[in-house]
Amino acid sequence: MGRYIVYGGKKLFGITDIHGSKNAALPVLCGCIINSGLNVIHNCPKITDVFNTCHILERAGCKIKWDGSTVIVDSSKARFIVIDDELTGSMRSSIIFMGAFCGRFKKAVVSKPGGCRIGKRPIDIHIESLEQMGIVITEGLNCFSCSAGAIKPCEINLRFPSVGATENIMLSASCADGVTVIKNAACEPEIEALAGFLTSIGAKTVCENGKITVCGTDKFNDTEYTIIPDRIEAGTYIAACGCAGGEIFLKNANAAHMREVVNVFGKIGCKISFCDGGIYVKSSGKDIMPQNVKTGVYPYFPTDMQPQLMSVLTLAQGTSIINESVFENRFNHALELNKMGANIEIEGSEATIKGVTKLEASEISAFDLRAGAGLIIAALTCDGMSAVNGAEYIKRGYEAIDESFKDLGANVRYESR
Ligand code: UD1
C-alpha cells in the first residue's frame, strides 16, 4: 500500500517521455504464447499489470528477460496451466489469456474476472463469440473452462464492439484453419497494434472500418515488435497542464490516436500542436471553458480519460456535463473531488460539474487506475500538500508517474506505507 504526496499550486514546464501503451502491451504479451518462439517486444511499460502478465507467462513455461524497456518472451517451452485467481489477482485483462490459450493449446481454464469499481463488466460477448468458433465453454463457480477440437474460422457480428472480446477472438482466430471475420469490432489503436503483432508472427490480420479479418495459420515465426505510445498516459499530462497551466512537451505521444482528446482539451482552452516527435501543450490554467462531453468507443472521447477530464472541469467557468456511456459506475472519483471543494452531482450516467474557483489540498483516495490519475491532477492545482491514497491502482497503469511529473517540474512523490 502506498500513496502519492502532491505539493501543488505550480505551473508545469518541461519535457517528459510517453511510455508504451498498457492496453496494447497486455494483449500482445498474452499473444506471445501463440508462436512457440521468440518475441522481442520493445517499448513495454514497466507497470504492475505488465509484470503480472509476465508472471503468468513464466508460470506457463515461457522464459522472460527484460533489457531496459524491451521484454523478450521465449514461448518455445510454453505449456498449458490453469490460470486461477491466485495468478490473475485483480487483473481483469487476464481474461484475454482465454483466446490465446484456446489458440495455442485448444483449451483454457481462466478464473472469473469478477466485478470491479467501475462497473459489473460481464464477459458474455467474449463467451458467445468464442462459442461461435467451436470452443465449448463451461462456467464453474470461480472459473471458465474452455475446450475445442479445433478453432473454427467463422464470421462474428459483435452486438457491441467490446475491446476485450475483439482481442480474445483475434487471438484464437490466429490459430484457426482459415479466415475469421469480425464485424462491428472494436477499432481502438490498441486493436490495430494487436493486429500488427499477429501479422508479425504469421497470422495476417487486417482492420478496416470496424471489420477485422484474421487469416489463421499453424506456421508461426519469431518476431520483433514495438508497442505504440500510451494515448491515455499522454492525455493525462495534457489534462494536468490544462488545469495547472504551463508549457509541456510529450515526447513520442501520437496525436493521430488522440484526435477527440486533443479536440476537447483544445475547446477547454489548451493550445496543442504536434510534430513528429510528440505533442506540445500550452495552457494558462485559467479561463477553463466548460464542456459537455460524452464518452464512447473509439474514435469518440475515451472513458479512460473521463476522470482526468472531470478534474479539469471542476475549475471551469460555468457548468459542464459528462455523460459516461461505456461503464455504468465510473464516477467514484467525483465524491473525492467534492471533498476537495468541487461541486459535482451525479445522476445515473450523467455528472453535472459546476465550476468552482479553486480546490483545497486534501487527503483523498483512488479506487481505480484512471480515477487515481485524475485525483493527482486535481491535487496539482491546489496550494499546499495533498495525499492521494491507493497508489497501487495508479501503478497498475502508469510507469513512474511521480518521475514523469518531476520531469514537468511538479512535486509528486511516492510514499510506501
Ligand atoms: C478495455 C480497456 C479499458 C477501457 C475499455 C473501454 C484493456 C486492458 N482495458 O477494457 O482500459 O476502459 O476497454 O475502452 O484494454 N461488456 C459487456 N459484455 C462483454 C464485454 C464488455 O457487457 O462481454 C461491456 C462492459 O461491461 C463495458 C463495455 O462493454 O460496459 C466496454 O467493455 P470492453 O470494451 O470490453 O472493455 P474492456 O476490454 O474490459
Q: Are residues 122 and 210 in the same domain?
A: yes
Between the CA of 297 and the centroid of ligand 1 the distance, in Å, is 9
Average pLDDT for 58-80: 98
Same domain, 14 and 48: no
Q: Is the CB of 131 under 6 A from ligand 1?
A: no
140-178: b or e for each residue (b if 16 or more CB lie within 10 Å)? eeebbebebeebbbbebebeebbbbbbbbbbbbbbbbee
Q: Do 123 and 235 share a structural domain? A: no
With the most atoms of ligand 1 within 8 angstroms of its CB, the residue from 22, 160, 188, 232 to mutate is: 160
Residues 304 and 180 in one domain: no
- Give me the CATH number covering residue 12: 3.65.10.10
299 & 372 share domain: yes
Helix (H) or strand (E) holding 2: strand 2-8
Statement to judge: residues 257 and 181 lie in one domain: no
Mean pLDDT over each residue of the chain, to the nearest integer: 95
Helices (H), 106-230: 124-132, 163-173, 189-201
Tell me the whole-structure pTM to 2 decimals. 0.97
Give the closest residue (by CA) to ligand 1 atom 26: 121
180 and 99 assigned to the same domain: yes
Whole-number percent of the chain with pLDDT over 90? 92
| Cα–Cα distance, 344 to 312 (Å, whole number) | 12
Q: Is the pLDDT of residue 295 over 60?
A: yes
Residue 29 and residue 156 in one domain: yes
> Is ligand 1 within 6 A of the CB of residue 121?
yes
Whole-number pLDDT of residue 116: 58
Last residue of a domain, one of 226, 244, 267: 226
Place of cell 514546464: 13
Give pLDDT, residue 120: 64
What's the rounded Cα separation, in Å, for the pair 92 and 369?
Answer: 12
CB 351 within 8 A of CB 310: yes
Q: How far apart are CA 397 and CA 368, in angstroms?
A: 10
Shared-domain flag, residues 208 and 303:
no
Q: Which of 226, 257, 290 is the last residue of a domain?
A: 226
Determine the average pLDDT of the residues in 306-320. 98
Residue of minimum CA distance from atom 24 in ligand 1: 121
* CA angle centred on 39, ends 276 and 63, rounded to 5°: 135
Query: Which domain covers residue 390, as residue numbers?
Result: 2-19+229-416
CA of 186 to the centre of ligand 1 (A): 10
Instruction: Answer yes or no: 215 catalytic.
Output: no
Give the residue from 199, 226, 253 where a domain finishes. Answer: 226
Phi then psi for residue 128, to 5 deg, are -65, -30
Same domain, yes or no: 170 and 73: yes
The residue-averaged pLDDT of 141-167 equals 95
The dihedrals phi and psi of 416, each to the nearest 5 degrees, come to -85, 150
Residue 343 banded pLDDT, cuts 50, 70, 90: very high
What's the rounded mean pLDDT across residues 366-395?
96
Quick: pLDDT tens for 33-66: 999 999 999 999 999 999 999 999 999 999 999 9
* Residue 115 in this model has a pLDDT that exceeds 80: no
Joined together, the cell numbers standing for residue 99 give 483466446
Same domain, 186 and 284: no
Domain identity same for 157 and 185: yes
Query: Number of folded domains in the chain?
Result: 2
HEC per residue, 28-55: HHHHCCCCCCEEEEECCCCCHHHHHHHH
The residues facing 247 across adjacent strands are 13, 282
